[in-house]
Structure 1
Amino acid sequence: MLWSFYDPITSGKLGEMMNYEVLYEGAFAMLKVQLNRGEMVKAEMGAMVSMSPTIDLKGTIDGGVMRGLGRMLSGEKFFFQELNAVRGPAEVLLAPASIGDVQAVELDGSYRLFVQKDGFLAATDGIEVNTKMQNLMKGLFSGEGFFIIEISGKGTVFLSSYGSIHAINLAAGEERIIDNAHLVAWPDYVDYSIEKASKGWLSSVTSGEGLVCRFRGEGVVLIQSRNPGSFANWIKQFIPAGR
């Protein structure tokens, strides 16, 4: 089943009863989740902003030590936080570490979702967060390293970005070139390769783009409106040089 993406998704249901809403969309998004008694949501470590007193919060590796180590290799945290509504209905507010948007993606279990590092915010029960090792060429040049986040299962996953999230809908056979630093997520059935931004290496480097990703549809690729590396370089000009 192809990933069906609706832009934007700001509210909905997880399963049959659990409700969520994305607040303050854009640069300062926050996720609100309503839990019934016995329901649970897991999130990246440190994501909880506020929660009802009916919730038990605990840290978990989720999948064992090896899976936790794999997540660290992809740039994610070793632990998750698990929020369980054990004593009655509850409300949870979650927020990503970076300045940016939050987007919900529904997974039906028929495909995996590849996500950039720091792109996972939270998920419902039934979603697994693993890592995938890229081949040598993609690992060296994609900017994401040898490991990327691999999300599978059936449920809802909440992604975070640096800047706003935009969906590129690719028709069958349609191609699109995307700066790798702007990638957020893409399904495993969308093919991609790494290549120079321009025909020559010198032109690729002097253009400021270097290497880019060429995606081929059918499918949806999520991108973010800002480049974290470019922002870091912009900030550096205001920091006094060390002695």
Structure 2
Amino acid sequence: MKYEIRYKPAFATVFLTLQPGDRITAEAGAMVSMASRVSMTTQFSGGLISALLKTFLGGESLFVNEFKNATGEPLELVLSQGTIGDVAVVELNNNEICFQPGAYLAHTPGIRMGVSWAGFSSWLSGEGLFKLKLSGKGLVFFGGYGGVTQRRVNGDLVVDTGHLVAYDPQIKMNIQMAGGLVGSVTSGEGLVNRLSGQGRIYLQSRSVDGLVRFVRSKI
């Protein structure tokens, strides 16, 4: 299928052209518009048990929607995320990628959805006990609040807990204080995520927690 990501980076939206027989699975509520002859079916995201874990322990939606073109001509489908920000796409070739809660948007056939244990450090940072993991061969669309940047980790890298969007599964995470107890509180940084290993990560330029703190100070 053909796709184009428009209105980057603040209001990124995915315009897809579904060829006859094409189908794509997307997060519940991601559809902006679609041709009237595009069919849509709703299903559990990755199976019932996986969907329940993602929903109640990982902060993800219980359902996903599958869109399919069963006609003989190309049809348009438009998808977008719920937050203001950028959308990126990664092509998997029989490998895996992990997402923080709310980052996943859609995937093409050949991709499998699942969950894996994220650890108590992830839970302490507010990211949930389980992480969403996609594997297989195909395209995965995901988004972030603000602009999305890809970086390579080769050793150690410290990032704010609210800015990590996606990462290769071989990247290890360790949640810790930004400094000492007093420094972590007075600096406004609180907890940080010390990443280690080798692989890709994706960072969002803005933090939803930062937005909440800003709005709270104005109320």
Question: Which TM-score band (shorter chain)?
Answer: over 0.9
2:136 to 150, 153, 161: 153
Tell me, yes or no, if structure 1 residue 39 matches structure 2 residue 19. Answer: no
Which whole-Å deviations, capped at 9, do the CAs of 1:49-106 have from their partners, x for residues lacking one? 1112231012111432212112202111111111000113211110100101000011
Residue 11 (structure 1) aligns with:
none
Q: Does structure 1 conserve the Cα–Cα contact (< 8 Å) formed by 2:45 and 2:62?
A: no
Tell me, yes or no, if structure 1 residue 135 matches structure 2 residue 116. Answer: no
- DSSP-derived class of the 1:189 partner: coil
Q: Does structure 2 conserve the Cα–Cα contact (< 8 Å) formed by 1:131 and 1:148?
A: yes
Q: Does structure 2 conserve the Cα–Cα contact (< 8 Å) formed by 1:141 and 1:211?
A: no
Residue 13 (structure 2) aligns with:
30
User: TM-score, normalized by length of structure 1?
Assistant: 0.84
Summarize the alignment of residues 75-224 of structure 1 with structure 2, pairs less than 5 Å apart. 75-88=59-72, 89-110=74-95, 112-136=96-120, 138-171=121-154, 174-198=155-179, 200-224=180-204
State the one-letter code of the partner of 1:48: M
- DSSP-derived class of the 2:85 partner: coil
* Distance across 1 between alignment mates of 2:130 and 2:2: 32
User: TM-score, normalized by length of structure 2?
Assistant: 0.93
1:235 to 207, 215, 218: 215
* Distance across 1 between alignment mates of 2:87 and 2:181: 36
State the one-letter code of the partner of 2:42: G
1:122: how far off?
Answer: 0.6
1:74 to 58, 74, 97: 58
C-alpha spacing 1:63/1:166, structure 2 compared with 1 (3 Å): closer
State the one-letter code of the partner of 1:224: Q
Q: Does structure 2 conserve the Cα–Cα contact (< 8 Å) formed by 1:114 and 1:187?
A: yes
Tell me the C-alpha RMSD between the 2 structures: 1.4
Ranges in structure 2 where 5+ consecutive residues have no aligned partner: none
Tell me, yes or no, if structure 1 residue 56 matches structure 2 residue 56. Answer: no
